[in-house]
Amino acid sequence: MRTYPGDPKVWDTMPENLRSDDSHKVIIGEDFLASITGDWNSYSKHINPSTIAKQVGGKLIPPK
């Protein structure tokens, strides 16, 4: 487990490893942060991270 200073909901100060990129997607909700790892162009292409974010009441964080 890792902890990070600051509010992860403030995108400008979010640590780089808590941002979405090619291998993982980050979802932030009212009281949670989730990171989903996958190969979005291969075995995970049938999974839509935006749909997951909506289902859990969160927001998908875009890559920087």
Task: Look at residue 28 in the predicted model and tell me its pLDDT.
Answer: 85
4 vs 51: CA distance, rounded Å: 27
* Coil vs helix vs strand at 27: strand
Does 34 map to a domain? yes
Which pLDDT belongs to residue 29? Answer: 84
**Cβ neighbour number for residue 22 with a 10 Å cutoff:** 10
| Total domains, the chain | 1
- Written as tens digits, the pLDDT of the chain (64 aa) is 455 556 666 766 666 667 788 888 888 888 788 888 888 788 888 888 899 899 989 888 888 7
Which pLDDT belongs to residue 18?
74
Q: Which residues contact 6 (CB under 8 A, 6 or more apart)?
A: 13, 14
Domain membership flag for residue 3 = no
Identify any residues that bridge with 29 across adjacent strands, giving them in sequence order.
Answer: 58
8 Å CB contact between 14 and 61: yes
Containing domain of residue 42, as a range? 11-61
